Homo-oligomer: A and B are copies of this chain.
């Protein structure tokens, strides 16, 4: 961005935010990459507003000077959502971490967008309620909404799109709108809430969210079970869903990932395709669910069950799953993780995973798999050494073939990570003519293309 312009904007923003605006190079660089494999593109300025009104004022100033804006939550995006492709300002929302409203009777909480997942969990602890959506990292709720995140509980509780009741959003001109209401459903007009969930900050900045709370289950039981093949594990998951068992989590780790997990955490699970399961409900419901799933697993040749009922045992058991990313990285010392995800109809899932494993092996990229298999969603965690540019190119090509495989199976190029810049090339392939409608919406709401420009949609030029 033009230096004079920066200085002018910086001065105006300083009047508004004082020392909560910075040009510090280190901070700018920290805000320009996220967890992605894409090269850092730092913004010119980083801001830390503390309320919707300040975001609105900041955005109005940027509008007047035609400055691009990148909203920033916890920077945990893996697809390059926070890269400042055109420079400009990065709005870091982490100082917006207040609870705005809370009603257990109506089962909602309204939080500022910078509240993190872990903070929300702590806020709700002991209340008898919880918020079920959890990606594998400590993202902010604003970021989770913006990428339509989901995670392990989605099979029972849905994704962010199903658990956001209402939003406060600052539009590209600085105006603030509210979408949705406190009612649990509505037929009053276009569903702007669902349009903005998953819009990756390209239409406006989410500053507050009203989230649906769910009653904390009276009983929780977890299990780990190993299968001779990926097909057997996936078939067990499919049968569970088809029979209407309201399972809370059904996660697949492939044999390579189980090896990583065993090594990393000194465990001794069988190094075979493995399902990690969790059941929520009353004692009676959980027992019934467990009995059924055990039966389906046996029908598909399960070779071992490990159960966990009490919380410490359950936490230990799930540790293997939650540590999957660092465990994978420990397989190749010094490596970086290039994570990707796709989602396919569950009938095609086993085939998609098996073909991808074969592809990874043929390519020579070590790429363990974890999957939210109840939804047909899985992650390929490709391990690349930073000094291996050839390996990096191989991984990129493997990722591309995975996406094309998923699309050929009538799936989607991303189940929960979002598009950012990493999946951008596949948007025309997946959406075809519908992409024009997305571009028309973008142009109508952000005609100057200043809101997280270059993300989610091909550049409008």
Contacts and interface: CB of A to CB of B under 8 A. Distances in A.
B182 A191 contact: no
Given A177-B437, A347-B106, A376-B184, A189 B244 contact: no
Given A184-B343, A242-B215, A376-B184, A432 B190 contact: no
Contact of A149 (B108, B150, B187, B410): B187
A305 interface: no
A436 to B, nearest CB: 8
Contact of A161 (B149, B191, B288, B343): B191
Contacts of A238: 105
A344 B191 contact: no
A278 interface: no
A189 B445 contact: no
Indicate the member of A188, A217, A343 with the most B CB atoms within 10 Å. Answer: A188
Interface string A145-175: 0011110001000110110000000010001
Given A103-B345, A158-B162, A347-B105, A188 B410 contact: no
Contacts of A137: none
Contacts of A411: 181-183
A437 B180 CA distance: 13
A433 interface: yes
A24 to B, nearest CB: 32
A282 interface: yes
Interface stretch (A7-15, A193-201, A319-327): A193-201
A132 B241 CA distance: 16
A75 to B, nearest CB: 17
Interface string A280-292: 0110110010000
Contacts of A244: 214-218
A346 interface: yes
A190 B199 contact: yes
Interface stretch (A225-233, A254-262, A393-401, A416-424): A416-424
B346 A413 contact: no
Contacts of A426: 188
B104 A242 contact: yes
A192 interface: yes
Given A183-B376, A343-B184, A445-B437, A419 B189 contact: yes
A246 B245 CA distance: 13
A382 B422 CA distance: 55
Contacts of A218: 244
A432 B187 CA distance: 16
A282 B433 CA distance: 44
Contacts of A284: 284-285, 288
Contact of A430 (B103, B181, B406, B410): B181
Q: Which of A161, A238, A432 has the most CB of B within 10 A?
A: A161
Contacts of A191: 148, 161, 191, 194-195, 197-198
Contacts of A416: 185, 187
B177 A432 contact: yes
Contacts of A199: 190
Given A186-B412, A345-B182, A177 B434 contact: yes
Contacts of A435: 189
A441 interface: yes
Among all A-B residue pairs, the 4 with the closest Cβ atoms = A215-B244, A194-B194, A444-B444, A186-B412
Given A185-B412, A189-B419, 17 more contacts: A103-B345, A103-B347, A105-B238, A154-B185, A178-B432, A178-B433, A181-B411, A183-B410, A184-B376, A186-B414, A188-B414, A189-B198, A189-B435, A189-B456, A191-B194, A191-B195, A216-B244
11 contacts: A148-B185, A178-B431, A185-B412, A189-B438, A190-B199, A191-B194, A192-B438, A215-B244, A216-B244, A285-B285, A285-B288
